[in-house]
Amino acid sequence: MKALTDLIRDIPDFPEPGVMFKDITPLLADHNGLQIAVGALVEHYRDSNASLVAGIESRGFIFATPIALELQAGFVPIRKPGKLPYDVIREDYDLEYGTDSLEIHRDAVQPGDRVVIIDDVLATGGTAITAAKLVEHLGATVVGVGVMVELEYLGGRKRLDGYELISLVQYEHP
Ligand code: AMP
């Protein structure tokens, strides 16, 4: 996955001091890189019998949609509060300072659905575990969580204990 690492740009102190932001826009702009990233996750989930791929707003959407198409599954958006127009369920989660929330349409997944959750970066894992809870509250099964980038030093994998997790690029240090 060296090809992918070279296409991920470090932006220090964005969006706030102390954060090393992993900018995936060079990867998105590179046809080969984009194909490798999407293709690796498609292969990983090829035999998972997934019926839906849920993308987490907003960069998760970019990867989740082509993965869904390749898996012959549907796409479901998991969004920040107030963005989805129909009936939603909401789940709150803690940030370092304060709380945040994610929402999913109440009818977006059904009991019996097998759902892959996709985001660009796994940091503390709060976002991914919240997405998984939303899917499970609607009675569906979480097949796994797939991300391009895992920031190992923030411990997200531990937080997702019990869920299958794949990342394409890992960083041990900021
Ligand atoms: P977390 O809930 O801490 O795992 O944060 C994951 C979410 O925040 C993902 O949707 C990422 O897009 C975003 N994120 C967190 N930290 C970073 C980072 N260092 N670089 C890029 N995106 C990040």
pLDDT, position 2: 76
- Domain residues for the domain of 90 are 48-171
The domain total for the chain is: 1
Classify residue 96: in a domain, yes or no: yes
Q: Is pLDDT at 95 greater than 90 in this prediction?
A: no
| Catalytic residue of the set 43, 57, 96, 159 | 96
The closest-lying atom of ligand 1 relative to the alpha carbon of residue 123 is 4
96 is an active site residue:
yes
Residues 147, 37: contact at Cβ < 8 Å?
Answer: no
Q: How far apart are CA 6 and CA 8, in angstroms?
A: 6
pLDDT at 129: 97
Bond before 167 cis per omega within 30 degrees: no
CATH code at position 55: 3.40.50.2020
pLDDT, residue 97, reads: 74
* Beta bridge partners of residue 77, listed in sequence order: 55
Find the mean pLDDT for residues 99-115. 97
Give the residue-averaged pLDDT of 39-43. Answer: 98
Distance CA 91, CA 158 (A): 20
